[in-house]
Amino acid sequence: MGDFRITVLVENTASKKGLLAEHGLSVWIESEHGRFLFDTGQGPALGVNADMLGIPLERSDAVMLSHGHYDHTGGLPNVLHLKEHLPVYTHPAALEPKYAMGPGTMSRDIGMPSRVKDLVEDRAELRWIQGPTEVSDGLLLTGPIPRRTGYEDTGGPFFADASCRTPDGMPDDQAAFLRTNRGVFVVLGCAHAGVINTLWYIRELTGNAPFCVVMGGMHLVAAGRQRMDRTVEALKELDIERIFPAHCTGPDAVARLRREFPDRCFPFSAGTVLDIEG
């Protein structure tokens, strides 16, 4: 399978001078089998940070989208303008309308920006994901994730229409995972399907292989006490070697995870680099 290098290009915070912080997430995954972009942030940070970190976006072999929200898809022009017919792995629902309920009765468009959608349909090679898919040797996408826990929801008031009457179940939500000699390395976008649902499904797909790393957005920002308690309990049972929470995990949830896993929990920022032996 070879070794992997993970470079965080976009996150809500930045760890180095000159890097942009932006509400969103983008991770560069590189191995001897290719270079892959998982999510793109929401806009300008991707291009600026890639240049600062020496990441050649024009050499991307594919883009993987965890779901269709603007803060994971808005940066697509940064790479699509550099390379036409680039494969983009996503679920069809990622291109559908998406809204959030704001203060009062106001709704907010949080889907893929229309200009980005037009560019994707014009320049990208869309590869629709309907189930577990191998993108490259050792690099896979879960596809739609079964919802089994009972205590996890999509993490917010999300809807498929501007009037906010039709809930968005987010069938497009998916995660990436790498098979390595040390175990399974998971990259989460927002885990709207639930971080535990996601990990249980990956464990099922990998034949109960151990988890060496789980990193990314866990969308626990609005999690209540009961959900956090049960999430922590499940994470302990999964016995993950290292946990890297960020983005939509939320400061309170990150603090709780750091208390519960003091030697295993490490929040990350744009500029973080992780090397994994394949």
Rounded-to-integer distance, Cα 52 and Cα 16, Å: 10
The whole-number pLDDT of residue 1 equals 58
Q: Tell me the CA distances in angstroms from 167 to 21, 177, 184, 197, one per residue in order.
A: 30, 28, 32, 19
Q: Count other C-beta atoms under 10 Å from residue 255's C-beta.
A: 13
Contact 164, 99 (CB under 8 A): yes
Express each pLDDT in 53-63 by its tens digit.
999 999 999 99
Specify the pTM: 0.97
pLDDT at 217: 98
Average confidence (pLDDT) over 71-90 = 98
Per cent of the chain over pLDDT 70 is 99
Q: What pLDDT, on the 0 to 100 scale, is given for residue 155? A: 81
Q: What is the pLDDT of residues 4-29, one digit of tens each?
A: 999 999 999 999 999 999 999 999 99
Range of the domain at 197: 4-276
- CATH code where residue 85 lies: 3.60.15.10
* Mean residue pLDDT across the chain: 96
Strand order in the sheet with 176-180: 133-136, 139-141, 176-180, 183-188, 211-217, 242-246
Per-residue 3-state assignment (H helix, E strand, C coil) for the chain: CCCEEEEEEECCCECCCCCCCCCCCEEEEEECCEEEEECCCCCCHHHHHHHHHCCCHHHCCEEECCCCCHHHHCCCHHHHCCCCCCEEEECHHHHCCCEEECCCCCEEECCCCHHHHHHHHHHCEEEECCCCEEEECCEEECCCCCCCCCCCCCCCCEECCCCCCCECCCCCCCCEEEEECCEEEEEECCCCCCHHHHHHHHHHHCCCCCEEEEEEECCCCCCCHHHHHHHHHHHHHHCCCEEEEEHHHCHHHHHHHHHHCCCCECCCCECCEEEECC
Mean pLDDT over 162-175 rounds to 96
Domains identified in the chain, total number = 1
Q: Specify the pLDDT at position 277.
A: 80
Condensed to tens digits (0 to 9), the pLDDT of residues 229-275 reads 999 999 999 999 999 999 999 999 999 999 999 999 999 999 999 99
Residue 40 has pLDDT above 80, yes or no: yes
